[in-house]
Amino acid sequence: ILFKIPVFNFGSENINEAYAKIEIFGATYERIAEFETDKTQVKSGGQANLLTSWKADVYSGVYHVVATVYYDNK
């Protein structure tokens, strides 16, 4: 599965390092997997895509995904 998270920098300063932490949970919210996207820069007024992939080696069913975006240690 390919994850593509668009991020936008509406601020006046460049973002030196942006990335996301992805958490996959099962139907009863048990954690199945946790991983991070590649890190990238986002210029002021610009945008970027945070990309990663996951080999979904699980049974078909209902899963929940939580993506938390971090930038410049925030």
pLDDT band at 66 (very low <50, low <70, confident <90, very high): very high
pLDDT band at 1 (very low <50, low <70, confident <90, very high): very high
* Residue 20, number of CB atoms within 10 A of its CB: 21
First and final CA of the chain: distance in angstroms?
Answer: 27
- 12: CB partners within 8 A, 6+ apart: 44
pLDDT band at 74 (very low <50, low <70, confident <90, very high): confident
Q: What is the pLDDT of residues 2-59, one digit of tens each?
A: 999 999 999 999 999 999 999 999 999 999 999 999 999 999 999 999 999 999 999 9
